[in-house]
Structure 1
């Protein structure tokens, strides 16, 4: 059973199914929508120039020159607390906080400026070692019972500088030294077991960004980690697989809503509901995997891979067209079993006594199988785009 499902929702669904099937279907629909739109507020902070704004842009898959990007630069660019919603999941907001310790925001004033209770967790960023102000801020966050994570940014610059100065360059050794240096510095300032994640804002698939997500996946509440996953950039195939699993967990509830609609004794209603539901859900898959045109153009801008090269690896019409009822009907009719089940569902409702239960079972089966097929197809497409985005071969 889905551990995110509230038992009261299930009980309410069962009761409504007996007296008002249409209301039961609406209950499940509203539940899934609410679960996917839970607010998540991430505070990104640190000293001025540490790479906060670049991190905000990178997480959202936005190039610094794109509309809606957080301004970046070598001088203090964040003067106020600014929200930056995720382009596909506006309920996930990264808050670019002013640099602590500057003349505009001295540490004492900063602690009063930031309302810690409003954030789910904090990312504390430094491009060198973590200084006194970073530690002071972390301790205040700790007092509030909030989670925080130290991120050492601009690792790519450090490795490039080391490579130029060494004949026998060993990147793993350099990364280990940087990590230990940060940890030891934080321990000297009172943190017993600090965790430090090494990142490059321009290459999130490298270094510790995956480890950061794994840590958040363990420590965040279930409902928060779910929306975080949906908003995560596709930095590796594991993220794509986890998104697929998360979408897959909801399919049984979409199918249950479809079955409830089939219990309403109105000819043609169930098929119409099924198709409308599938259009919404499949469109969510497209956006979640970053296969919509806007997401692909942002990916092209951030990776330098031409937009046409990214779209060239797409093989399914699902990732190349707007999701409409006509498109889904066309795809379903190509699948003999699905189209046959839909026809059988409509015919079965006129069978005395047993017609409605049979129609409900068939409706559940059609929706369940169709959404699994569409989801698997789009997950494969996401992997192709991910591989092409890294300029590798396009074999999944």
Structure 2
């Protein structure tokens, strides 16, 4: 693989970091690296969830965020109307992704004609309209008003697991045909009420890996602007192996950038500076990998509670030393020195910078290679762990 020359021009953010390094201000450089990384992970995404009382809005919001209904920070649910105002629920690992639980349309406080203005429609990127039975007049009115505002909306038919269990009592029960009929009934009903080409998704908030939740993600991914797709992807629960692979690809696309940043730091002739900066950067990237794959301790504990698989059993399938631990610079340095090829490259980089004329370019090249290999290694190990955890949580064979 060819290496980008560390002396090439850099984006404004990296130029500022390089200036701090040249002034031997490692603390400022590390802070800028963290700030830049956080900004990349903080593209805002605001998702509006609406529907009539009892439709399953709160449970859907909690499931999307990887929470059970009784977890701390979960949206409250119950048999009575719990949403009397617009309530914001940030994702626990990606607070830039926010779910907004909206009051039911058509009530005295939120009449249909004024609904979008009253809830502040302009701040939402798209709307999900939820019903646990058929979609009613208020749902259709809302969809038509959203369409006038040129915003995207999607219909979610919730509690599909309950409907399938009820269908099982029939002698001629066929799950595939039952799902097809449910979707056709929803689409037909909406079309009769004047909705053109309605997009309907059948979802069970307790079994997101089943039914249409994956299709919903694919549709949202297709409709969102490019800069928001990763925000949605990383906030998605690991509902299937495809999602995990997509997350890996998204993370992998940024590795060359971080390796180039590492090379820029290595271009400053100060002993130990490159390693210090690399560690600050790699800690943040590794923490991001762990959070994105849901392999941090709180996420694994929530998965254990929702899946019924003991937390200790989820830990048993983990192989990466980065999963379910607190990642620090000291911890990461120890891990890197245990990797023979990486340790050798780090030592060679520090030694090479004192070679006349070619030392600095050589050190930069070695720094690029070291960072690139290390982040690829961390990413591959964690992605494999995420697949094993998913399989264990849904009861699939996790043997490798």
Which segment drifts farther, 106-115 or 200-209?
Answer: 106-115
RMSD: 2.1
**Aligned partners of 1:64, 1:14: CA distance in 2, in Å?**
43
**Aligned partners of 1:103, 1:311: CA distance in 2, in Å?**
50
Matches within 5 A, 1:285-304: 285-304=289-308
Question: Is the 1:29–1:254 Cα contact (8 Å) retained in structure 2?
Answer: no
Change in 2 beyond 3 A, CA 1:313/1:114: same
Aligned residue number for residue 167 of structure 2: 162
Aligned residue number for residue 149 of structure 2: 144
Structure 1 position 68, deviation (Å): 0.7
Question: Is the 1:21–1:263 Cα contact (8 Å) retained in structure 2?
Answer: no
Matched, 1:350 2:357: no
Aligned residue number for residue 3 of structure 1: none
Q: Normalising by the residue count of structure 1, what TM-score does the alignment of the two structures yield?
A: 0.92
3-state SS of paired residue (2:95): coil
**Aligned partners of 2:299, 2:229: CA distance in 1, in Å?**
22
> How many residues are treated as equivalent by the alignment?
387
**Aligned partners of 1:301, 1:76: CA distance in 2, in Å?**
26
3-state SS of paired residue (1:318): coil
**Aligned partners of 1:26, 1:283: CA distance in 2, in Å?**
16
3-state SS of paired residue (1:150): strand
Matches within 5 A, 1:3-82: 10=10, 12=12, 30-82=35-87
Question: Is the 2:319–2:381 Cα contact (8 Å) retained in structure 1?
Answer: no
Residues 79-107 of structure 1, C-alpha deviations (whole Å, 9 max, x = no match):
11100000001111000111123455332
**Aligned partners of 2:155, 2:377: CA distance in 1, in Å?**
40
Aligned residue number for residue 263 of structure 2: 259
Question: Is the 1:25–1:261 Cα contact (8 Å) retained in structure 2?
Answer: no
3-state SS of paired residue (1:380): helix
Matched, 1:203 2:197: no
Matches within 5 A, 1:1-396: 10=10, 12=12, 30-164=35-169, 166-396=170-400
Question: Is the 2:58–2:77 Cα contact (8 Å) retained in structure 1?
Answer: yes
Change in 2 beyond 3 A, CA 1:10/1:178: farther
**Aligned partners of 1:129, 1:272: CA distance in 2, in Å?**
59
Question: Is the 1:26–1:257 Cα contact (8 Å) retained in structure 2?
Answer: no
Residues 151-204 of structure 1, C-alpha deviations (whole Å, 9 max, x = no match):
11111111111112x112101111101101111111112222111000001000
**Aligned partners of 2:279, 2:183: CA distance in 1, in Å?**
52
**Aligned partners of 1:74, 1:368: CA distance in 2, in Å?**
52
Residues 225-282 of structure 1, C-alpha deviations (whole Å, 9 max, x = no match):
1111011000001111111111111111111111111111110010111112111111
Question: Is the 2:234–2:247 Cα contact (8 Å) retained in structure 1?
Answer: yes
> Which segments of 5 or more consecutive residues in structure 2 lack a partner in the other structure?
1-8, 23-27
Change in 2 beyond 3 A, CA 1:64/1:183: same
> Which segments of 5 or more consecutive residues in structure 1 lack a partner in the other structure?
1-8
**Aligned partners of 1:80, 1:14: CA distance in 2, in Å?**
43
3-state SS of paired residue (2:168): helix
